[in-house]
Structure 1
């Protein structure tokens, strides 16, 4: 099973459970670290997720995974919050991040830079604008390699 197939399978398993509990599935990762595989599921909800919420998701998903057994390898299941520097993956994530501080990397340089940190001032579904001081950078979504909220100290 490819990483995308695993992600899709987990999303389908969690779909109605997440809706019923007003949880949001932020991301699913299936990665190998050393000799171990990890299935990481990041969840959130309005007002923030806590350890009890993560436990409920983990218990539900564990039962589903045991019943359907879609992943042939042995792995460790981890369910957690995406953290304060939450990744921005879906278009809705960018809309939710408007007027927040973000850190963006691109696949190729835009105006000579591949890293942008500042206030996300606009997003139209196809491109975003990050303002750092008086400079604004327009970045096509297709060129974004990674994006996350950023904490300002």
Structure 2
């Protein structure tokens, strides 16, 4: 059995827990109240691993506020309009012509009239993207639970 170590965050809920899905204004208000936790968690993973946003529009206000939180926490190195490393935005583009060359970066408006530049991936076939992100060698014989516990203990030790 191969185990790939990674995390999946379902920002707008999961079909296995219908109460977690975000549909109503009240759901969105509750999301905004709790988004700081999600932003902090994403920032923790972002420092060492790429973040791939799948299934969201760059105009989604929830995505914009999460990206705004991440932007506020990032140290600025280089020009203000530099691409933020490790954040990818995957968007579905139906019926892409064979000669179409998608943009490699996307400028996303965030809170406070600011914007951030992130890496963009447009495709009409997600398969190759998932294969590329999963191309690293899997870790065999390691329990993800044990690995997370070790990581947590190393954070405690460092503190």
Same fold (TM over 0.5): no
For normalisation by structure 2, the TM-score amounts to 0.26
Highest relative contact order (Cα 8 Å, sep 6+), 1 or 2?
Answer: 2
Structure that is richer in strand per residue: 1
Structure that is richer in helix per residue: 2
